[in-house]
Amino acid sequence: MMCQGVPATKWRGMLACCLALILLLAFLLRAYGLAAQSFWHDEGLSVSIAQEGWGEILRGGGEYHPPLYHLLLGAWTRLAGAGEFAARYLSLICGVVTVALGARLTTLLLGRRTGVLAALFLAVSPIEVWYSQEARMYALLGVLTLGSSLCLLRLVYGKGARGLWAAYALLNVAAIYSHYYGALVLVAQALWVLLHVARGRDWRFARGWAMAQVGLGLALLPWLPYFWQQLHGQDASYWPGQISAMQLTRMTLLGFAGGGLMVREEVALQLARLAASLAILGLVVGALRARSRLGTVLLTLYTLAPFLLLYAIVHTRPKYSPRYLLVVVPPYLALAAAGTAALLPATLRRWHAWARVGLAAVLIGALTAGSALASTNPLRDSRFGRDDVRGLAGYLAQSVADDEAVILLSGHFLPVFRQYYNRPNCYPIPPEPTPAPDVNNILGLEALDHLNRALAGRRGAWLVLWQDNVVDPNGIVTALLGSVATEVPARGGFRGLVVRHYTFPEGTQVSREMFGQQALDLTVAQGGVKLLTAGLPSARAGGKATFFLAWQGQWQMEHDFHASWRLFDAEGREWARVDTPLAGEAYFTQRWQPGRVVLAAHALQLPADMPPGEYELKAWVYPLTQSGHAETITVGKMQVAPRGG
């Protein structure tokens, strides 16, 4: 729609002014509250790597990502500083440039009006704002892949000089050196090339693209040894499993709208439905109109090809976050902009044309205002945002006594924690953590040694829990501390983190005998699991009776097994019962590695009127996911003391 009586040049000038205002809005949204939130784990890791020597950065700093972002961040922070505002500003720049490039790409494909709308939607997009305010490589990856796609499209449309092939290749090299998922966009670009060559038999264009791919391959050769090492090392920071296409779609669309990170999922769902509806409308209308058909097809390929390829990668190894598809947000929102633009009439001569303008204005306002509010919601609602490491570290700096330890579980939290807490009483478990936890190497008996090092010479300990469900899914460290120390109240409210405070007499240690008081070697779970030993400390009536177990899987289990733990007196009367997994809620028996000792800790709530004396603990072990009989075993004797005695 062009306003009647307005010359084309003036109309283009008005759109250019709108675009300038949108870029200003994009900058303000990303700069607003840039340092308000603490670094979280991934950012702390990036800043820590960036402060290493250049050689260590080039080797990847132990992370599973290529080094370009950390090299840029290292140079940037050496000039601007390593605080939250300075470190994140690099991503802010990338985010604003993404808005400008998104407008240019959409304009090239679908026209200026749609390009301006796409820029508006990108400017306020919750996921774009979020990663423009994060000291990680995702905003950089987004702007590089968008830039290379724009270069290729200009060549497709015959609007680029031959030297643009070099820019295209260099941008793709930089994208892959920023994150491996840059390759997702290369697949979409390859489909563009196939379509263009099939339509026009442009073999000169095909040769230019092929040479660019050869250049890309040669540029990546120096990194191949590191990539090969990482590939064979495997990223074991997630549990095995599966994710369906529907689940991936829902997670992606909610993530694009800020669901979970910035707003409640119910709110994000409304934004996601609106954006998806407009994108579908844009796809349908664009496919029906001859002048916009090619642009619509190219945007659809740009959106769907990376999504489908990523689904093929993650559906059997479900470590997924919507940030992995940040690269498709510009084409996705370009389709949404096309759907909105399709509502606008060519002229305003009839009343229904004004109704269409009104409907479009309402939809634009709803998506823009809703997205902008979602993007800034973490600054108003403390339930949302990044983990509050800075707040917790400040609290601990004021509260931890000189004779107390700070224990980090999991220890891979250390790099970001060290950004805010520098006292020497900090003990990560495990003590030499990898950048991410390893689900194949959960804590075993070595946890006792790590814990004893932290407790030595201390009278108290502060336990900081973050992703402990991965490194210690059976809750061994918490159970051990609870058995030898007294938990006292500690302040909560640190988003994403849990802190517990324990006091104990100096010289307190945990002993391996806590797990091995009674040697059992009992076979259960249809022969697939052995209960090696058990520790049954005494307990008091009215309290909790915690007991410790050491299991061992005999082979790879196909089903999960639970146990019903029951405490009987000498006359056979049952006094307490609890049903639990054999180990932990997240550590099903199917996840056990054959031959590896698996520690577990469970607790029975004892009645207040329970008489003192000796009781017998028995277990009924049963399969959870299939029919089968329960196997009964006697674990051992437990002493119960009078309440409060």
Domain co-membership, 497 together with 542: no
Domain co-membership, 397 together with 360: no
Within-domain flag for 449: yes
3-class DSSP state of 540: strand
Q: Last residue of a domain, which of 355, 379, 403?
A: 379
Domain co-membership, 403 together with 314: no
Does residue 233 register a pLDDT over 60?
no
pLDDT of residue 437: 79
pLDDT of residue 432: 83
pLDDT of residue 227: 81
Within-domain flag for 226: no
What is the average per-residue pLDDT within 47-53? 93
What is the average per-residue pLDDT within 447-453? 94
Within-domain flag for 237: no
**Vertex 459: Cα angle to 455 and 462 (nearest 5):** 70
Does residue 229 register a pLDDT over 80?
no
Domain co-membership, 348 together with 454: no
Domain co-membership, 344 together with 432: no
Domain co-membership, 306 together with 393: no
Within-domain flag for 491: yes
Which of the four pLDDT bands, split at 50, 70 and 90, describes residue 645? low
Does residue 346 register a pLDDT over 90?
no
Closest among 319, 152, 163, 155 to 235, alpha carbons compared: 319
Domain co-membership, 452 together with 581: no
Domain co-membership, 483 together with 342: no
Q: 94-132 pLDDT, tens per residue?
A: 999 999 999 999 999 999 999 999 999 999 999 999 999
Does residue 19 register a pLDDT over 60?
yes
Domain co-membership, 335 together with 199: yes
Closest among 634, 561, 623, 627 to 592, alpha carbons compared: 561
For 290, residues 6+ apart whose C-beta sits below 8 A from its C-beta are none
Domain co-membership, 32 together with 106: yes
Q: What is the pTM of this model?
A: 0.92
Q: 348-406 pLDDT, tens per residue?
A: 677 778 888 999 999 999 999 999 999 999 999 999 999 999 999 999 999 999 999 99
Q: 452-501 pLDDT, tens per residue?
A: 999 999 999 999 999 999 999 999 999 999 999 999 999 989 999 999 99
Burial string for 490-527 (b: 16+ CB within 10 Å, else e) reads eeeebbebebbbbebeeebebeeebbbbeebeeebbbe
What is the chain's mean pLDDT, rounded?
92
Domain co-membership, 542 together with 577: yes
Q: Last residue of a domain, which of 461, 485, 503?
A: 503
Which of the four pLDDT bands, split at 50, 70 and 90, describes residue 433? confident
Q: Last residue of a domain, which of 349, 379, 409?
A: 379
Domain count of the chain? 3
Residue position matching structure tokens 């005695």 = 645
Does residue 524 register a pLDDT over 60?
yes
Within-domain flag for 232: no
Which of the four pLDDT bands, split at 50, 70 and 90, describes residue 344? confident
Domain co-membership, 541 together with 619: yes
Closest among 222, 167, 174 to 69, alpha carbons compared: 174
Q: 258-310 pLDDT, tens per residue?
A: 999 999 999 999 999 999 999 999 999 999 999 999 999 999 999 999 999 99
pLDDT of residue 3: 53
Across-strand partners of 533? 519, 550
Within-domain flag for 475: yes
Could you check whether the bond before residue 473 is cis, i.e. omega within 30 degrees of 0?
no
Which residue range is the domain that position 70 belongs to? 8-220+243-379
Within-domain flag for 607: yes
Percentage of the residues of the chain whose pLDDT score is greater than 90? 79
- Whole-angstrom distance, CA of residue 99 vs CA of residue 337: 13
What is the average per-residue pLDDT within 416-429? 95
Within-domain flag for 225: no
